[in-house]
Amino acid sequence: MSEALKPSTQPTKSGLKHLKPSEVLFNDGDMAESLYIIQKGQIRLYKPKGKGFIEIGVLRAGEVIGEMAFFDEDGSGKKRSASAAAMVSTDIIEISFVAFGKTMAALNPWFKTIINTLAARLRKANSRIKELESNSTALYGNKAGEYEFMKPAEILKVLGTLFLVFKTHGEKHDLGVSVHKRTIDLYASDIYNIAEAKFDAVALTLADLGWLQIIEDAEKLPNLYIMKNLDLLRSLFIFYNTEKQLPEEKKMKISQNCVTFLEKILQYAPKFPPKDIPNLKPQDEYDSSPRFTQVFNVASILEEFKTKNMPITADHLDDARSARLVGERAVQGEELLVEIDMPKLQKLYPTIKFMNSVNKQNREKAGF
């Protein structure tokens, strides 16, 4: 487990705490000594199951987490019944059970009776829900024992839902097209039964990439979703729908080093005119592969990687070559010329960034 994923080992005391994205607040089975009030951000609740996890839900600003352990009958063995981790940068107020106990002791006996009764009923309801959980709730990948937090079919469902809601209920906004979260929840949760943690993870990925903006509504809560480009949602949906139907060996796989290289190509392209590569095999009438539109010298890009001590070489373009984004390479003096299908690269690059961001999250969450 990486350092970012380890729960805090600071002494238990009340006060304000900050969690980084993916940072674990506590793990299932940990001894419980505090409850928490979320001031800003989102907390994902999940429970280990086999080599995967059951997604329980997402808590947001104004909600309390970890309070049930205080009401456990066995005061000497209060343990967490689930794991909790931040989905985004999150601020929480920690209240120790010692401090909370003093507040409870000062309450009118009738209030204490009501609170304890409600807590007991909630505990029984939670136990009953756990008994009824299906084994299918745990989500795994194609390989036995491989856990995937976001499976392609789930991503496809979220993207399709977002596109439908924005197209049907979207309103014009200075920043794009806006939809309130309660409308999104109606479709995502009530109609399509999409796990809240999965939906939020996809939405936050879109936000991190700068394509979706989540701002405060009239009640000063982050519930207004603004999509800048609905065509992007459509493109992502079509890509995942196509990939879902392909055999594993034919699916697009682009390494992060390759993504970095492609990003630099897109940045450098306007500065350098395309060149000709002599003696390359010409496309003939029997060659049905697409014709590459431009040829660029990428030597300056490789020099930048070298200067920054980034271990990226021309060989890292092989993934892009398999995807028919780049073609042949040729050396001319100090130049390294590469064929590039620039229109295709410009069209697919956002999809590639999204795909790799999802893959990164899957790897991180599989390590929880």
Structural domain range at position 293: 256-352
The confidence score (pLDDT) of residue 72 equals 66
Q: What is the dihedral of CA 306, 307, 311, 315, to 10 degrees?
A: -30
CATH number of the domain at 330, please: 1.10.10
Spatial separation of the C-alpha atoms in residues 199 and 155, rounded to whole Å:
8
The confidence score (pLDDT) of residue 139 equals 42
Please indicate, yes or no, if residue 12 is contained in any of the structural domains: yes
Q: Say yes or no: 99 and 27 in one domain.
A: yes
Considering the chain, what percentage of its residues have pLDDT values greater than 90?
A: 38
Q: Say yes or no: 11 and 51 in one domain.
A: yes
Burial of 313-348, coded b for 16+ CB within 10 Å and e otherwise, reads ebebbebbbebebbbebeeeeeebbbbbbbebbeeb
Spatial separation of the C-alpha atoms in residues 53 and 83, rounded to whole Å:
10
Which residues on neighbouring strands pair with residue 10, listed in sequence order?
Answer: none
CATH number of the domain at 69, please: 2.60.120.10
Q: For the chain, which ranges sit under pLDDT 70? A: 1-14, 50-51, 72-77, 112, 118-146, 272-293, 367-368
The confidence score (pLDDT) of residue 144 equals 42
Please indicate, yes or no, if residue 358 is contained in any of the structural domains: no
Q: Say yes or no: 196 and 74 in one domain.
A: no
The confidence score (pLDDT) of residue 128 equals 55
Q: Say yes or no: 291 and 229 in one domain.
A: no
Three-state secondary structure of 245-259 = CCCHHHCCCCCHHHH
| Sign of the Cα pseudo-torsion (306, 312, 315, 318, in order) | negative
Q: Say yes or no: 233 and 287 in one domain.
A: no
Please indicate, yes or no, if residue 364 is contained in any of the structural domains: no
Which one of 204, 223, 247 terminates a domain? 247
Spatial separation of the C-alpha atoms in residues 50 and 120, rounded to whole Å:
28
Please indicate, yes or no, if residue 288 is contained in any of the structural domains: yes
Which one of 134, 169, 202 terminates a domain? 134
Residue 28 tokens read as: 């299932």
Please indicate, yes or no, if residue 104 is contained in any of the structural domains: yes
Q: Say yes or no: 242 and 261 in one domain.
A: no
Which one of 193, 219, 247 terminates a domain? 247
| Number of structural domains in the chain | 3
Three-state secondary structure of 276-315 = CCCCCCCCCCCCCCCCCCEEEECHHHHHHHHHCCCCCCHH
